[in-house]
Amino acid sequence: MEFDLARPIYQQIIDHYKKMMIRGELRQGDKILSQREYAEKEKTNPNTVQRAYREMESMKLVETVRGQGTFVCISPEQLTMIRHEMAGAVMESCVVEMKALGFTDGEIRERLDGALQAKKEAVNDD
């Protein structure tokens, strides 16, 4: 995983795990890497990884069982919430950037439909 070094790394670790949960790559009860394993794998400061894991624990995304490891413990309601939250953030940054380029609401809608259509055609062509 490549970090964006202009943003706090611990947040990106949390986002990375959230995405894996949303996509179903990580499910309830799955064991995730230990803090040390994660730090070594991503060549990241162990204190930063510890902070990310602690926040995920307090958000009830994961729980650490002493001597056994850290496990995904997200509820379906929470998963839905995070899914909406992350989608909201992506849409917002898209809208903000389009507006910054001077596009009107109508044009943005049109472009979005166009982009979706183009994507659909690209998939059909495969």
Partner 1 sequence: MIEFKGVAKSFGRTVALDGVDITFATGKITGLFGPNGAGKSTSLKLITGLNRPDRGEVMIDGKDPLDSKVEVAYLPEIDHLYPWMNIRQAASFVSSFYGDWDEKRYHELLPFLNLDEEMKLGKISKGQRAKTKLLLCTSRRSKYLLLDEPLSGIDILTREQIIQTLIRDFREGEQSIIISTHEIAEVEGLVDEVVFLDRGRVRLQGDAEQLREERGMSLVDIMKEAFRYAN
Residues that bind partner 1 (CB under 8 A): 3, 5-10, 36, 39-40, 42-48, 50-51
CA dist 4 and 85 (Å) reads: 20
CB-nearer residue toward partner 1: 9 or 86: 9
31-32 vs 62-65, strand pairing mode: unpaired
Contacts of 41 (CB under 8 A, 6+ apart): 33
CB-nearer residue toward partner 1: 37 or 85: 37
For the CB of residue 42, give the shortest distance to partner 1 in the complex, in Å: 7
Q: Within its chain, how far is the Cα of 112 from the centroid? A: 22
CB-nearer residue toward partner 1: 48 or 70: 48
